[in-house]
Structure 1
């Protein structure tokens, strides 16, 4: 029996050609390699899953945030926008049930892709930033509410607009601002940083612009010589036009500002303008040539056809920009009852003066260095085209930018008129 038993283990102990290893050793190594491979791929899959969770789009560090509300075009869309706000609105109670908490968490995860462009501030945070909404921190005031200068814990400076709650107007303006410019980022539009909605309070937090408004520099007490030179005024006009053009031509759906005026143009220390206050803005859906709405705006800036019919589109903003451009050139307010009867309405006075070819008379006397005749005529032509009574003949904002930055097109007309005058003198 001892001779029949193979001490080497029989078949499994037979030597294989691979490195002279026994068959049982080769099988053992193969099995170990298979197990190792399975473990490796399993661990790799887990690590990938963990990494995906780790590097998913992050919610800002604030504990209270707002979801993105996209521009709406119908009643259903508006209802959906309200739901997004309700999901991420901070709770007013000090405690909540665990089921409600988990429900909110689930909803937040659903809307994760729409969160991250605006922070939701608590009322306590904004009270601390503005020293309890101290009157010494007021930097602007109007029918919409009061704007305060605020300093956040990270020492960044912001502008906090506390909307007046007049018959639900604060809620309406709050929603409009969120829809119109919540996602918009443009160097000539004031950036919206965050929001606050607690109880009846509705507040908007903007980037702080440190050099006041265009209205203050045009009509305030700045001395006999204005710091706004002709070149600076053109820089402001071009920057403002670019901001409005982005609203009209760079967004889908497009946005009509509806309240273009000098007090809504903020300036920094380098005189770069930023268009602000979108509380009256309207979203114009694709395929729509206009939207019918209640007439809103500022007296003197409102386009005549909009004032008469309530039909609003981009050309209404173009008219308002034309009035603003006249204001920049002349230093006059659109309506000034302190002036003689024929000069109360700036637009009518401006048109009459230019038609009489007294171009120099429309210039702000506080401009120390006057522009060239060529440059002045170019801008006067742009003003008159913007306020054309036929809204369809007004240029688009993109065209206005080209006309302000270059003089080729407008001066074809001027050169032709000059040529006709020369021919008249020569042959008559």
Structure 2
């Protein structure tokens, strides 16, 4: 039988460490020496049998580790998992990184602390982020997660090319319950699509790998600095001059995509990032749901995107109609919503940003968007007209194009000098 460590409790600030294996599936921690491997000296003020740590087989998760309060005097002795105190005989599932504290209830400042480590999960993570052999000379992935998307986790990575090493990121998508086989196959098209692009405002793919055992997609990309949502949240409102700079870069990227027959389908501030901390150059990222709207073999009858930025024609459409409506006007509407938010500090539909999806959908479909928030910010009348009447035109057939917006902004350049 294997003696490989499945989970462990590592003492924080003291030398007591405990591990569980298939041979040693259970440990009682306490001050009675009959606790054997879980014995802690009685001077630590633990109950004779304080708590039990044990393994349990689970068909879904494999091994899981649980902790059970065993102290017979719950008034005198305590067991905490993070900030949750266990009740008498209560059992709780431990997750990687959980903090366990045990000791006397009248001496909470001197509790004995452990950090729980799920060694199985750590091994799974190591397997997930492992660089395939044929790319190890070029890429190195770190275990440091620096972000996540709807289907992916982003890790810090390094690329070595021409004897120079630079930071990059590795976006990893794994086949899981959350990511079905059909979804995984679609997401595998993203790096192939990005490789065909050459635009200064679209993120570049440095390399990618699609493999199995485990089934995963790894995409190495340029490392960006900060997305526009975080940037906006710090500033609360974007001034017209800065909006002008943002607009030109985003619209130039959209014009490039639309001319190639590609619609992004998830334009939002989180998918637009500054390349560095000077906040001058922006790039579109996350093309996981992008599609070629001219290719009839790529029919997609599911709604995708982020609810706030999805236009009324998509919200109203039946599944049979959706595919034919995912065209460039979808991206233009999303940019209109982004523009309204940035210039006013609020959405066009609610004064604050707390709302449920059903209420939001109803507002998008039914409500005419008011100019008043823009007028109150003293935005130029021509910009208000551009946003309300052209970018946010409820008729997708008459909605302005990226190329037309760039022309309008060029003619208004003097307003921003």
TM bracket, shorter-chain basis? 0.5 to 0.7
Choose between structure 1 and 2: higher strand proportion. Answer: 2
Residue from 381, 385, 391 that aligns with 1:381 = 385
1:397-420 CA deviation, whole Å, 9 max, x = no partner?
100111223239x9xxxxxxxxxx
Partner of 2:155: 148
Partner of 1:281: 290
1:10-40 CA deviation, whole Å, 9 max, x = no partner?
xxxxxxxxxxxxxxxxxxxxxxxxxxxxxxx
> What TM-score do you get using the length of structure 1 for normalisation?
0.54
Q: Which has the higher contact order (CA 8 A, sep 6+)?
A: 1
Q: Distance in 2 between matches of 1:337 and 1:376?
A: 21
**Residue 326 of structure 1: how far off its partner (Å):** 1.3
The count of aligned residue pairs is 262
Query: Closer, same or farther in 2 for the Cα pair 1:407/1:352, shift >3 Å?
Result: same
Query: Closer, same or farther in 2 for the Cα pair 1:381/1:264, shift >3 Å?
Result: same
Does the CA-based 8 Å contact 2:138-2:159 persist in structure 1? no
Q: Distance in 1 between matches of 2:398 and 2:172?
A: 39
Residue from 385, 397, 400 that aligns with 1:395 = 400
* 1:350-369 pair list within 5 angstroms: 352-354=369-371, 357=372, 359-361=374-376, 363=377
Partner of 1:129: 140
RMSD of Structure 2 on Structure 1 (CA) = 3.5
Choose between structure 1 and 2: higher helix proportion. Answer: 1
- Does residue 175 (structure 1) correspond to residue 175 (structure 2)? The answer is no
Q: Distance in 2 between matches of 1:340 and 1:197?
A: 39
**Residue 169 of structure 1: how far off its partner (Å):** 5.2
* 1:263-302 pair list within 5 angstroms: 263-268=270-275, 269-285=278-294, 293-302=301-310
**Residue 358 of structure 1: how far off its partner (Å):** 5.5
Gaps of 5+ in 2: 1-130
Residue from 242, 259, 269 that aligns with 2:252 = 242
1:319-343 CA deviation, whole Å, 9 max, x = no partner?
11111211221233577795588xx
Q: Distance in 2 between matches of 1:150 and 1:349?
A: 46
Gaps of 5+ in 1: 1-119, 364-372, 411-428
Does the CA-based 8 Å contact 2:239-2:343 persist in structure 1? no
Does the CA-based 8 Å contact 1:121-1:194 persist in structure 2? no
1:289-334 CA deviation, whole Å, 9 max, x = no partner?
x965311111111122123131311111111111121122123357
**Larger Cα-atom Rg:** 1
- Does residue 233 (structure 1) correspond to residue 243 (structure 2)? The answer is yes
Does the CA-based 8 Å contact 1:235-1:272 persist in structure 2? no
